[in-house]
Amino acid sequence: MKYIRIIPRLDIKGPNLVKGIHLEGLRVLGKPEEFAKLYYEQGADELIYQDTVASLYQRNSLTDIITKTAKNIFIPITVGGGLRSLEDINKVLRAGADKVALNTEAIKTPDFITQASRSFGSSTIVVAVETIKQPDNSYLAYTDNGREYTGVDVRSWVNEAEDRGAGEILLTSIDQEGTGNGFDLELIKMVSDSVTIPVIAHGGAANDSHIFDSIKDSGADAVAIASMLHYAALNKNGDLVGNFKKEGNTEFLKKKSSFKMFGKENISEIKNNLINKNIPLRVLN
């Protein structure tokens, strides 16, 4: 049996958990470590922390949040955002991360993947691929949270990443990300058919049917989900609201607004629904 992983993805800006659409327009949602704890208790299989501005400002601000999380949460934590050197990777691993996700620097210098997988082991190195579908239906990789065009073709890039020792691919459709319109199934299928390492699908999930499709139709080994969990958590767990550092765009939280297109289920409810559709998943005893 292969058990599919459900992985909450927490985008971080400064001290706060944020969420945008198409990786932009970030809204503050709360304290990341509190959401992380909630997701751990509900049966999350791993966590992803993505520093959304580290690449832009060339800083690594996540280490405090990682350490606070890793002391109490005993599932794997992947950290991405602004990792440019073996020393950067070492720093977040020492802070408590189990894996790192590399994008911008890996595209700039592909040998970084080779060096990193040799130094830390393939299973520690996740290559994050953020892609936009082009008018000719090809997929190109972008860096710096979707801001920078690279011209790199996704299919050949994931093959190269695997050859260079990547242990997993974290595949983000920037077109779908934050929209709640469902995953880009064609993209996920293309990538999972191209590599023999696990593929984590990310971008677009609003409900468990979307997750089901990404697994059944496209062969995803894991899914990373964000908006649908965060908005459900804010709906159900009132005490999470208001618990954030007053930095960034907090208008969304103050208005207590919501997004109708996202489901209201937490991780354990999502898992139960998927198990009823015969998707093999880990459940808590």
Partner 1 sequence: MDVAIIDYKMSNLFSVQAACQKVGLSSVITSDNNEILNAKIAILPGVGAFGKAMKFLGNSKLDDTIYQFVVSGKPFVGICLGLQLLFDSSDEFGDYKGLGLVKGKVKKFQFHSYESIKYPVPQIGWNKINSNGISWGKTLFCNNHNNDFMYFVHSFYVEPEDESIILSRTTYGNTEYCSSIQHNNIFACQFHPEKSGEIGLNIYKNLKKEYC
Name the site residues for partner 1 (rule: CB under 8 A).
1-5, 40, 45, 70-72, 74-76, 93-98, 118, 120-124, 167-168, 192, 195-199, 219, 221-222, 282-285
Cβ count near 193 (within 10 Å): 11
Which of 88, 130, 168, 177 is an active site residue? 130
Q: How far is residue 206's CA from residue 225's CA, in Å, rounded to a whole number?
A: 8
Which residues share a beta bridge with 180?
Answer: none
- The residue type at 83: L
- Give the number of other Cβ atoms within 10 Å of residue 276's Cβ: 9
Nearest distance from C-beta of residue 151 to partner 1, angstroms: 28
Find the shortest distance in angstroms from Cβ 68 to partner 1.
Answer: 11
Q: Is 130 a catalytic residue?
A: yes
Our CB check for partner 1 shows the closer of 47 and 154 to be 47
Q: How does 132-156 read in b/e, with b if 16+ C-beta sit within 10 Å?
A: bbeeeeebbbbbbbbeeebebbbee
50 vs 124 by CB, closer to partner 1: 124
Catalytic residue status for 11: yes
Query: Cβ 5 to partner 1, closest distance in Å?
Result: 5
Our CB check for partner 1 shows the closer of 48 and 222 to be: 222
**Residue number, 2 or 260, with CB nearest to partner 1:** 2
Q: Residue 191 CB, nearest distance to partner 1 (Å)?
A: 12
| Residues whose CB falls within 8 Å of the CB of residue 67, separated by 6 or more in sequence, listed in order | 95, 96
User: Taking the complex as a whole, how short is the minimal distance between the CB of residue 37 and partner 1, in angstroms?
Assistant: 13
Cβ nearer to partner 1, comparing 76 with 110: 76
- Among candidate residues 255, 229, 227, the one with its CA nearest the CA of residue 241: 255
Question: How near is the Cβ of 135 to partner 1 at its closest, in Å?
Answer: 31
Structure tokens at 181: 């319109």
Closer to partner 1 by Cβ: residue 17 or 70: 70
CA 235 – CA 229 distance, rounded (Å): 10
Q: Could you list the active site residues?
A: 11, 130
